[in-house]
Amino acid sequence: MPGWTGWLLAPLHALALATGAKSFRDNPVLGSAALNRMGLHIARKRLAARVAARRRARLATALPPADRAAFDRDGYLAIPDFLPAELFARLRAEVLGQQTPAREFVDGYTLTRLIPLDAVTLPRLPATAEALASPRYRALHDYIGSHRLAPHRFVQTVFSGIRDAPPDVQSHFHTDTFHPTVKSWLFLTDVPGDAAGFTYVPGSHRPTRRHLAWERRLSITAARHQDRLTGEGSLRVDEARLARLGYPAPRKLAVEANTLVIADTSGFHRRGISEGSACRIAIWAYARGNPFTPWAGLGLAGAGGGKVRTFWALQDALARLTGRGNGWRWVGLRSPAAPP
């Protein structure tokens, strides 16, 4: 039973049903065993899928039909030679040549570095700004994310095998959330087969009946699940179960530089396990709108505003107050490829 603060917050917890809120642990309504036994979680998931399909139908015309067909089948796209070679060469040179204040996070054998690409950094990166403004880049994010919404973008460097430790939390198969949502990587480096390539379970963006039954059972106890991230609504799944849920084998994507990998990360995916030490650099982007709005939006909101920086500043302030951060911190000037 929730304490008195829980009851005070009850109306807010209930209102969160109409948003992308996903944490079974932090919201006693979303986490309620009784409600989820009655099908609350699965009802939200089903409704979100239906509404997203309608929004996507309206966003589809901006997309080459082949992209749309391949995405609808697989839940992800890997598009080689995404940018014209000359533009890609300029973009890579300017991004790798910059020293910019960066945030870093060490988890397991991985160090991740992020440099935001926003109103602060993009004016000094004209080729990058030009590439990210390309209509196809935007149309793919809008369609797969099912919202007309400028994605948040970063230079993301993933150094795997930096120390003797187990793989990071992203390296376990999971869904990011219960509703269609988009993430992408425009790779600036090759990602060979034995490195930490993005790995996706084809078709898992459209759950099988067995997947829905599994997720329904999981939702009943998820609030108290031993895996913290499952409790927070990013469901972890064992590789052996994926086949039992009726999915084909996962695909670990080995790609060349200038490939755009873009996926609906409500499907099962993970960061592939690297066999030795490896480094991959990408322009990473994500966007997430309200899963239940019937309209796709006008496309005015989104990246460029200081939202991400404000969010980070709040997180850092909270970490200072409580003495417990989430591990991400500003580390000073870094260029994307500089070893940790």
Q: State which of positions 181-200 bind ligand AKG (CB under 6 A).
A: 183, 198
C-beta closer to Fe ion: residue 129 or 229: 229
C-beta closer to ligand AKG: residue 18 or 190: 190
CA distance 262 to 82: 11
Rule CB under 5 A: say whether 264 interacts with Fe ion: no
Rule CB under 6 A: say whether 271 interacts with ligand AKG: yes
Q: State which of positions 151-190 bind Fe ion (CB under 5 A).
A: 176
| Site pattern 203..242 for ligand AKG (x: CB under 6 A) | ----------------------------------------
Q: Which helix (H) or strand (E) holds 95?
A: helix 85-96
- Residue 140 and residue 63 in contact, taking contact as beta carbons nearer than 8 Å: yes
- Residue 171 and residue 108 in contact, taking contact as beta carbons nearer than 8 Å: yes
Identity of residue 123: P
| Site pattern 188..227 for Fe ion (x: CB under 5 A) | ----------------------------------------
Q: At what angle do helices 209-221 and 40-59 cross, to 10 degrees?
A: 130
CA distance 129 to 127: 5
In terms of Cβ atoms closer than 10 Å to its own Cβ (0-12, 13-18, 19+), residue 276 is exposed
CA distance 231 to 266: 16
Stretch that binds ligand AKG, among 7-15, 22-30, 144-152, 266-274 (CB under 6 A): 266-274
Near ligand AKG by CB under 6 A: residue from 100, 110, 121, 170: 170
CB of 286 to ligand AKG, least distance (A): 8
Half-sphere exposure for 135 (CA within 13 Å, toward CB): 6
What the block records as the tokens of 110 is: 């991985």
How many residues of this chain bind Fe ion (CB under 5 A)? 2
Q: State which of positions 87-146 bind ligand AKG (CB under 6 A).
A: none
Rule CB under 6 A: say whether 22 interacts with ligand AKG: no
Residues making contact with ligand AKG (CB under 6 A): 170, 176, 183, 198, 265, 269-271
